[in-house]
Amino acid sequence: MKTLEQIAAELQGYDPKALGAAQVNEFLARLVEPVTAVEDVGIFQSLGRVLARDVVSPVSVPPHDNSAMDGYAFDGAALRPDAPLALTVVGTALAGKAWQGRVGPGECVKIMTGAIMPPGLDTVVPQEFTRVEGDTVHIPAGVLQRGDNRRLLGEDLMAGRPALAAGSRIGPAACGLLASLGVATVPVLRRLRVAYFSTGDEILSIGEAPREGAVYDSNRYTVFGLLTRLGVEVLDLGVVRDEPTLLEAAFTRAAREADAIITSGGVSVGEADFTKTMMKQLGDVAFWRIAMRPGRPMAVGRISAMKLADTQREKVVFSSDFGSNHEAILFGLPGNPVAVMVTFLAFVRPALLRMMGCTACAQPLLKAHSQEALRKKPGRTEYQRGIVSTAADGTLQVRTTGNQGSGVLRSMVEANGLIVLHHDQGNVAVGDAVDVMMFDGMV
């Protein structure tokens, strides 16, 4: 396992006092490793889980050539580009069973959507394209080509081939696909366990009486929501005061029981508290000043409960999934509410997805045209809260929520995405295209 210094040495231009956003994600990609334990779960329990192995289709979907329309099936060889076609109806094919008759030249079968195509027939004309007189169906010239409106055996999935790849996160569509294969259980990686707590003497928990200089803890609830949306198992350790014994106990428990630890507060440069000291004491931790706005300070590393146990000669009991050499990945986030959410979305979420075993970790960026001029200096990445909508011409457009202060949590409620202004980017004029990271499914 590489140390943080070894990982940093692999990154070109690494500077912990002015780290670019792209370098942060590159560093984290080298730091974290996916969980390996596998369990079999039913389809209803698989939503949001990550596949441990490829799911190979036991059947072909569809299992036979079938009709994609209600209409009339016939041999498309009879079609002529400039001539109408008249066919005699000799039967009806219904979904759920094969039609047993025979179809000769100049004949067709009335067929329902999903019904098996009778042998020798390869084309379906939708009933709305036809004119029916008694047992004769009239098909105008030029309305279809041979093979139209026929679903081929295995065109969705072929038996013996992968239907879903290892590392895929199972969504509603994948649940339906698994059910269409008759698969009862799927192998998934175990849930990631993430411990979280807020730090600071100025933090109030809900239910405590207000006091001068103190604020109610919102970070605990937003991070809980972000982690729950991600599908991890959350260990909520509440609010921890700036006292060495309390911080030591929280970090030690988190390192024993979780794969990752997230804290908020106590990582700013020059802060006189015990959080940074405790992080250094328990593990291999780096403190960064990231060239970004909002969310400049961040800590990252590994925390070991065993280190503390060695100094105290204490017997440490780990979670059943962890051995005595277990180290939890640490994400020390800033304390301002918006900065917590932005750093989570930009850096922590992709890293946790990688730890979950996902092969697709980065949130895709969309292009939208700015509805206002935006001031931006090159040399840092800015994440502005935006409201994305559809313009009259069908393209995406975006405007900010107004005040972009890192403590304005209301702006995250009003926004449906982040405007991502990249490191080397300058001012944005009205109408310029900008990247946006949509919140859907994340926040």
For residue 158, which of 55, 68, 62 has the smallest C-alpha distance?
Answer: 62
> Helix crossing, 275-282 with 244-257: angle to 10°?
40
For 127, the token pair is 């009933």
Burial of 271 from C-beta contacts in 10 A (0-12 / 13-18 / 19+): middle
In terms of phi and psi (left: phi > 0; alpha: psi -120 to 50; beta: otherwise), the region of 3 is beta
Report pLDDT for 322.
76
**Separation between Cα atoms, residue 35 and residue 356, nearest integer Å:** 6
Helix boundaries (H) for 171-304: 172-180, 219-230, 244-257, 275-282
Report pLDDT for 326.
86
Q: Does residue 353 sit in helix, strand or coil?
A: helix
**Separation between Cα atoms, residue 64 and residue 72, nearest integer Å:** 18
Report pLDDT for 64.
95
> Are the CB atoms for 428 and 421 separated by under 8 Å?
yes
Which residues partner with 125 through β-bridges?
Answer: 72
**Separation between Cα atoms, residue 67 and residue 15, nearest integer Å:** 62
**Separation between Cα atoms, residue 141 and residue 82, nearest integer Å:** 6
Taking only the tens of pLDDT, the chain with its 443 residues reads 899 999 999 999 999 999 999 999 999 999 999 999 999 999 999 999 999 999 999 999 999 999 999 999 999 999 998 999 999 999 999 999 899 999 999 999 999 999 999 999 999 999 999 999 999 999 999 999 999 999 999 999 999 999 999 999 999 999 999 999 999 999 999 999 999 999 988 888 888 888 887 888 899 999 999 999 999 999 999 999 988 899 999 999 999 999 999 999 888 765 556 788 888 888 999 999 999 999 999 999 999 877 655 655 566 666 667 766 789 999 999 999 999 999 999 999 999 999 999 998 989 999 999 999 999 999 999 999 999 999 999 999 999 999 998 888 999 999 999 999 999 999 999 999 999 999 988 88
For residue 238, which of 222, 250, 248, 253 has the smallest C-alpha distance?
Answer: 250
- Say how far residue 240 (Cα) sits from the centre of its chain: 30
Report pLDDT for 381.
98
- 333 Cβ contact list (under 8 Å, min separation 6): 219, 262, 263, 264, 265, 267, 295, 298, 339, 340, 343, 344, 348
Helices and strands (DSSP H and E) totals, the chain: 11, 26
**For the chain, how far is it from start to end, CA to CA, in angstroms?**
33
**Separation between Cα atoms, residue 65 and residue 98, nearest integer Å:** 11
pTM: 0.89
Helix, strand, coil percentages for the chain (3-state, nearest 5): 25, 30, 45
Identify the helix (H) or strand (E) that includes residue 107: strand 107-111
**DSSP category for residue 155:** S
**Phi, psi torsion values for 45, nearest 5 degrees:** -90, -5
Beta strands across the sheet bearing 71-74:
123-126, 71-74, 107-111, 85-93, 136-139, 131-133
Pairing state between β 185-189 and 38-42: antiparallel
For residue 20, which of 270, 288, 276 has the smallest C-alpha distance?
Answer: 288
For residue 250, which of 286, 197, 301, 303 has the smallest C-alpha distance?
Answer: 197
For 383, the token pair is 């994440």
Report pLDDT for 317.
66
- Exposure letters 356-368 (e unless 16+ CB within 10 A, then b): bbbeebebeeeeb
CA dihedral 420, 425, 428, 432 (to 10 degrees): -80
